[in-house]
Structure 1
Amino acid sequence: MKKKEDIERIYQAALSAFSLHGYRKTTLEEVAGRLDMAPSNLYLYVKNKRELYHKTVIFALLRWQDRVAKDMEEQQSPEGKFLTMCRSAVFYLEKDEALRRLLILDPDIFPMFAEKDPYEYVNRASVALLTDMIKEGMASGRFRKVDPETTAEAIFSVYKMLIIRSYIKMEKKAGLLLFEQILDLITSGLFISKKAD
């Protein structure tokens, strides 16, 4: 196997273990056992359990991000890309049970406020993707003129609140109803357009 395949296999095994027991109770021996390797072999890839945990979380977050980007590629219009991005990002955790469980065990992975975000650079990339998509919609004349960076930050903040409420606090039904209402507000607005007198 190539090294990339090796490390992805290690991160997958670590994600499975950490999502069951959390950081404190998971041992390198358990992760190694899932891989049928000696624990000492893990040190060829990481310095310690803390680094394995950190890199495993990054692996899982990037996989989430990549899934959303791939789903967006299937759409042609800015509206289609935006709606697909929103739905894919929110509903991804329905399928990734290990990451969902890990977020419940360690909500600090996905905090509401950026100053406490240990994976801020990963989330910055998500905001950048959203910013670019808003700019594309504006350039095509399909989105109204807004400050794309500030708008992306606002939408991402709402998105984080929805993920926390739906999957971490486990208020899924209320959170997903809220998601549909917010999506409608973002795409249609609250005010009825004034007709010319």
Structure 2
Amino acid sequence: MFIIITMKPKIENDIIFAAALEVFARYGFRKTTVQDIADRLTMTKGNLYRYAKNKRDLYEKTVSWALLRWQDNVRRAIAEESGVENQFLVMCRSAVTYLATDRDLRQVLAADPDIFPMFPGNDPYAAINAASIEMVKTLLKRGIRLGRFRKVDMDTAAETIFGIYKMLIIRAYIRNEEKRLEQMFEQALELMTHGLLLPDSN
């Protein structure tokens, strides 16, 4: 099946990067050629070079587009909820479960774990992940202001929550432990929202 496109900037970018993601997911970065992607789009290779300097540039732009789409999905899920507690819960759930619905991004992540490193020292998409941490921090700040969350160091707490989320993603979708995802996620969410210690009964 081929894609025929008409040139409208935003729609055009979405179609091009979606097609590129599909091809990179199928063949991997090394085996994919720019011609493969051009053929998928029924474009000439020359036209495709309007969007990227080379295959590496196209790959990085495609991954950035896919990560931002993931992020936007979470943002929309939050906006549909009322109450900061529900917003926090849906943020966590939608962020972790999104990859179950995006097979192409899941396959690209599994083939290239450097896209989503556990530690931020060598993060090629640091700006996108920083925006995700800021999303967490915004909810924490609102919850504290409304008296629904206890006071914490928001920077540290947001980075810790994001670190737990990354660990779950890496184990489920990169290390192929998806069967344990739901159990691990619910346990992590329980610990984040209710802690470990029982309330003092005295």
- Structure 1 and Structure 2 fold alike (TM over 0.5): yes
Alpha-carbon distance between aligned partners in 1 of 2:14 and 2:45, rounded to the nearest angstrom = 17
2:38 to 28, 32, 35: 32
Deviation of 1:26 after TM superposition, in Å, equals 0.3
Question: Considering only aligned residues, what root-mean-square deviation do their CA atoms show, in Å?
Answer: 0.9
Q: Does 1:153 align with 2:186?
A: no
Q: Does 1:163 align with 2:169?
A: yes
| Normalised TM-score (structure 1) | 0.97
1:95 to 101, 118, 137: 101
| Aligned sequence identity (%) | 52
Alpha-carbon distance between aligned partners in 1 of 2:182 and 2:74, rounded to the nearest angstrom = 18
Alpha-carbon distance between aligned partners in 1 of 2:66 and 2:96, rounded to the nearest angstrom = 15
Whether contact under 8 Å (1:137, 1:143) holds in the other structure is yes
Alpha-carbon distance between aligned partners in 2 of 1:100 and 1:44, rounded to the nearest angstrom = 27
| Counterpart position of 2:122 | 116
| Normalised TM-score (structure 2) | 0.95
Long gaps (5+) in structure 2 = 1-6
Alpha-carbon distance between aligned partners in 1 of 2:115 and 2:137, rounded to the nearest angstrom = 22
1:16 to 22, 26, 32: 22
| Counterpart position of 2:188 | 182
Cα deviation digits, residues 104-127 of structure 1 (max 9, x gap): 111111010101110011000000
| Counterpart position of 2:4 | none
Deviation of 1:88 after TM superposition, in Å, equals 0.2
Alpha-carbon distance between aligned partners in 2 of 1:91 and 1:175, rounded to the nearest angstrom = 9
Paired residues, what number?
A: 196
- Structure 1 stretches (4+) deviating beyond 4 angstroms? none
Alpha-carbon distance between aligned partners in 2 of 1:176 and 1:22, rounded to the nearest angstrom = 28
| Counterpart position of 1:77 | 83
Alpha-carbon distance between aligned partners in 1 of 2:163 and 2:104, rounded to the nearest angstrom = 23
Q: Does 1:67 align with 2:67?
A: no
Whether contact under 8 Å (1:71, 1:85) holds in the other structure is yes
Deviation of 1:176 after TM superposition, in Å, equals 2.5
1:137 to 136, 139, 143: 143
